[in-house]
Chain A
Amino acid sequence: MRFADEFRDPQKARTLVTEIERLAAPLAAARGRPLQIMEVCGGHTHTIFRYGLKNMLPSDTLEFVHGPGCPVCVLPMGRVDDCVSLARRPNVIFTTFGDAMRVPGSHGSLLQAKAEGADVRMVYSPLDALKIARDHPDREVVFFALGFETTMPSTALTVLQARRDGQRNFSLFCNHITIIPTIKAILDSPQLTLDGFLGPGHVSMVIGTSPYRFIAERYRRPIVIAGFEPLDVLHSLWMLLKQLSERRCEVENQYQRIVPEGGNSPALAAVAEVFELREFFEWRGLGSIDHSGVRMRAAFADFDAERKFQLPNAQIADPKSCQCGEVLKGVIKPQQCKVFGTACTPDRPLGALMVSTEGACAAYYQFGRIDIRRPRVAEATV
């Protein structure tokens, strides 16, 4: 298949793995520990597990730390409770992306609310939600907007469309979050041992590459913005190790076929028109992070579910036994969490990282909990 197979060539993968092994060994030896590389984005976590990259790379010199870039995973319980409360209103059709349906709140998930009679519908795009609003003029249609800068433009454009159409029965429950303050919060963590970052590809497609400069300049960590095919991830990793070997700290862009240096200005303009930064936003596992979320501007109050409806807006503490925060910061591995695979499983997730396949714990549980690494055999010469 074109545009897929050329990014999954096993021969090129082997060459890159050999090069990565060669670069990683002296770097790890100098540190007396494996290199720790954070892939910020859940999409990369998924690629790493889906294609078995984790088992192709040397575990003694290289460790992936799975970052906070799964928007479903970092959603705090209180916000899920707000969703459920909105969905339970008799006149509301609550629309959401599918993977948010299973996120547990303190009184169950949207999936459970649906089973109890709430009108919760899965959509593939905010425009589908707007169409539902058009088709049901007598109902209030709320779209559960979530995601990083990747999904913000499509939500913003949908709101602008709704305003043009005068679609009064459509609103957003806005849970969009921004990646930069969160990376900064991780970098400020006193326990930090990260050596470098694989930067989020599709966020960068919108915001460009310059917002990451502080990582290289202030925190002296290299970052490579990476694509999502397995060769993209290996290539980016190689670029990162090359920077480390040459003692460079730069923002490099491996995903040039998608990510323009300056980002996407029409998308950014739509986002700026509709949204403004919140003072702070609560993240599951990470706590409150300043300026890490957006809300709708006052000019769009009619389309803002938080203004249109009374929401409980309760702050619910993460379950005590749950160590999502430490996993997110790379302090512990998913399987080192006290409840991993016991009280917390993909069937009954306790922490959010166990919910989505892009969450580190679910990925570990599904793809990585059994050691399947094949013993290395010296290649026979023929």
Chain B
Amino acid sequence: MNAVRAPLDVVATPRVTLAHGGGGRAMRDLIQRVLLPAFDNPLLAPLEDQARIPLADLAALGNRLAFTTDTYVVSPIEFPGGDIGKLAVCGTVNDLAMAGAQPLYLSCGFVLEEGLELSELTKVVRSMARAARDAGVSIVTGDTKVVERGAADRIFINTAGIGVIAQGTDISATRATPGDVVIVNGTLGDHGVAILLARNELALDAAVESDCQPLHGLVAAMLAACPDLHCLRDATRGGIATVLNEFASSSNVCIRIREAEVPLDETVRGACEILGLDPLYLANEGKLVAVVPRDSADTVLASMRAHPAGRSTAIVGEVTSAPAGSVILSTAFGGDRIVDMLVGEQLPRIC
């Protein structure tokens, strides 16, 4: 029966073929019909092999360039709250934002699996374009490769991004100082659980949406409230546990957090209970951990809660001196324990 139906499918659904990555006519068609209309901007339009960005425009915004890259392989490519396209824009925007940079330009490299439906690709591209527009960044250069069926899983995306850091901003994992407070901008683990549920491998049904969102607007509001933010990092793979360990180790301090203050969605908490997952290690795609001088904590907190990406912001702990290099959790039950770096992979292909 399949043998009869298969050819009909091929006619009905145009798919990516090896020719689309071959540099010839099919590839030009793909660029002209799918990519250009979506990403449309003056730096991309000339279709040179590189985007040419006037230095003067950059220099007007600050004195340092921030430059980052990330590759997105999430499975499934669509999930509640986002898709691989939105993720590929927000993730890189957030990596820039964590330096306090204003994100400006992204590149975009696709690795497509032969046989991917063109409609699927178009959907992802449009989602990227929408996310870029919402974040105020332009996708100014790109590349497309097609590999044989089975050599990749549908679609992988690499984005690199540049942004500019204003003079005076000095955010670094080395700056956590005893007395500082630790802030997160909302519920943790939403992305990790949303992906896990979207895979349908577990007989669990719950409404959890990924928190995938750009954070540079929130960071700008925080910097306006306190130009001297000490540390900032988005808590993606490995969750806040990993970020806090990086801060504690780079700054040679101890970070103590209080379990009772850590914001968690009740459904996410329930899923963690059932599956034996620790929400501190779960991935987020729209959450940051900030270390802020104590005397600015209240103003930063207020500025974050006033921003749409920070409505449920909470102070979850503070920086102390000893034991240096460690993260300690005061459990809601009344005990203390170490929160260590994750060993191995909790969930593969989460972003």
Say whether, besides A102-B344, A346-B343, A50 and B337 are in contact (CB < 8 Å).
Answer: yes
Query: Are A10's CB and B332's CB within 8 A?
Result: yes
Contact A370 B334 (CB under 8 A): no
Interchain CB contact under 8 A, A367 and B338: yes
Residues of B within 8 Å of A230, CB to CB, are 333, 335
A8 at the interface (CB under 8 A from B): yes
Give the distance in Å from the alpha carbon of A233 to the alpha carbon of B337 in the complex: 17
Instruction: Select A52's contact among B323, B329, B343, beta carbons within 8 Å.
Output: B329
Binary interface profile of B, 304-340, with partner A (CB < 8 Å = 1, else 0)?
A: 0000000000000000000100101111111111101
Nearest CB of B to A371, in Å: 8
Does any Cβ of B come within 8 Å of A54's Cβ?
yes
* A373, B344: Cα distance in complex, Å: 28
Bound together, the chains give a CA A189 to CA B343 distance in angstroms of: 34
B326 contacts which of A1, A51, A55, A370 (Cβ < 8 Å)? A370
A55-B343 in contact given A1-B266, A10-B332 (Cβ < 8 Å): no
Chain A residues whose CB sits within 8 angstroms of the CB of B328 once the complex forms: 372
Residue of A nearest to B264 (CB): A1
Q: Which B residues touch A10, using CB under 8 A?
A: 332-334
Q: Which positions 352-377 of chain A face chain B at CB distance < 8 Å?
A: 362, 365-374
A72 → chain B closest CB, angstroms: 13
Is the Cβ of B201 less than 8 Å from the Cβ of A54? Answer: no
How far does the Cβ of A110 sit from chain B's closest Cβ, in whole Å?
A: 13
Q: Which of B266, B335, B340, B344 contacts A51 (CB 8 A)?
A: B335
**Given contacts A124-B201, A124-B202, are A366 and B335 in contact (CB under 8 A)?**
no
CB neighbours of B334 from chain A (8 A)? 10, 13-14, 17, 52, 56
Using A1-B273, A102-B344 as known contacts, say yes or no to A51 and B323 having CB atoms under 8 A apart.
no
Check: B22 CB closer than 8 A to any chain A CB: no
Residues of A within 8 A of B344 (CB): 102, 346
Given A1-B269, A1-B270, A1-B273, A369 and B338 touching (CB < 8 A)? yes
Cα–Cα, bound, A362→B273 (Å):
21
- Please tell me if the beta carbons of A52 and B331 are within 8 angstroms of each other in the complex: yes
Q: Which residues of A are found within 8 Å of B201, using beta-carbon distances?
A: 124
- State the CA gap A145–B214 with chains docked (Å): 45
Chain A contact residue count (CB 8 A cutoff): 31
**Chain B, residue nearest A349 (CB):** B343
Separation in Å of the B178 CB from the closest CB of chain A? 16
Interface residues of A in 33-76 (CB under 8 A from B): 49-56
Question: How many positions in chain B have a CB within 8 Å of any CB in the partner chain?
Answer: 22
B333–A13 touching, CB < 8 Å: yes
Residues of A within 8 A of B330 (CB): 52
- Bound form: Cα–Cα A346–B338 in Å: 15
A4 near B: Cβ within 8 Å? yes
Asked if A52 and B266 sit within 8 Å, CB to CB, the answer is: no
B332 / chain A contacts, CB cutoff of 8 Å? 8, 10
Q: Chain B binding site: helix, strand, loop or mixed by DSSP?
A: loop
Nearest CB of B to A243, in Å: 24
B266 to chain A: which residues have CB within 8 Å?
1
Instruction: From A14, A54, A366, name the one whose CB has the most chain B CB atoms within 10 angstroms.
Output: A366
**Residues of B contacting A188 in the complex (Cβ-Cβ under 8 angstroms):** none
- Contact flags A55-99 to B (C-beta < 8 A → 1, else 0): 110000000000000000000000000000000000000000000
Say yes or no: A374-B336 contact (C-beta < 8 A), given A1-B273, A347-B343.
yes
**When chains A and B are docked, how far (Å) is the Cα of A365 from the Cα of B343?**
11
Complex formed: what's the CA distance from A1 to B333 in Å? 14
Interface 1/0 per residue, A93-112 and B, CB below 8 Å: 00000000010000000000
Measured in the bound complex, the distance between the Cα atoms of B266 and A4 in whole Å is 12
- Which partner residue on chain B sits nearest A52 by CB separation? B335
What residues of chain A lie closer than 8 Å to B323, measured between beta carbons?
370-372
Residue of B nearest to A9 (CB): B333
Chain A stretch 163-214: residues in CB contact (< 8 A) with chain B: none
**Shortest Cβ distance from B345 into chain A, in angstroms?**
9
Q: Which residues of A contact B333 (CB under 8 A)?
A: 8, 10, 13, 51-53, 230
CA distance A4 to B330 in the complex (A): 18
From 228 to 259 in chain A, residues with beta carbon under 8 angstroms from any chain B beta carbon are 230
User: Closest residue to B266 on the A side, CB-wise?
Assistant: A1
For B337, give its contact among A1, A4, A8, A55 (CB under 8 Å): A55
Interface centre among B202, B270, B335, B338 (most CB of A within 10 A): B335
Shortest C-beta distance, A269 to chain B (Å), equals 25
Q: Which residues of B contact A366 (CB under 8 A)?
A: 338, 340, 343
B338 touches A56 (CB 8 A): no
Rounded to whole angstroms, the CA-CA distance of A60 and B333 in the bound complex is 22
Return the chain B residue nearest A49 by Cβ: B337
- Partner of B335 from A4, A54, A124, A365 at Cβ < 8 Å: A54
Within the complex, the shortest CB–CB distance from B263 to chain A, in Å, comes to 14
Output the residue of A49, A50, A362, A365 with the most chain B CB within 10 A.
A50
CB distance from B341 to the nearest CB of A (A): 9
Q: Are B202 and A4 in contact, CB atoms less than 8 angstroms apart? A: no
Q: Are B335 and A53 in contact (CB under 8 A)?
A: yes
Contact A52 B337 (CB under 8 A): yes
Those of A242-291 within 8 Å (CB) of chain B: none
3 smallest beta-carbon distances between A and B, as pairs: A52-B335, A346-B343, A10-B334
A interface with B by C-beta (< 8 Å) = 1, 4, 8, 10, 13-14, 17, 49-56, 102, 124, 230, 346-347, 362, 365-374
Q: Give 12 A-B pairs besides A1-B266, A10-B334, A366-B343 with Cβ atoms closer than 8 angstroms.
A: A13-B333, A13-B334, A49-B337, A52-B330, A52-B334, A54-B337, A230-B333, A346-B343, A346-B344, A366-B340, A368-B337, A372-B328
Binding site for A on B (CB under 8 A): 201-202, 266, 269-270, 273, 323, 326, 328-338, 340, 343-344
26 A-B pairs with CB atoms under 8 Å apart are A1-B266, A1-B269, A1-B273, A4-B273, A8-B333, A10-B334, A13-B334, A49-B337, A51-B333, A52-B329, A52-B331, A52-B334, A52-B335, A56-B334, A362-B343, A365-B340, A366-B338, A366-B340, A367-B337, A367-B338, A368-B338, A370-B323, A370-B338, A371-B323, A372-B326, A372-B336
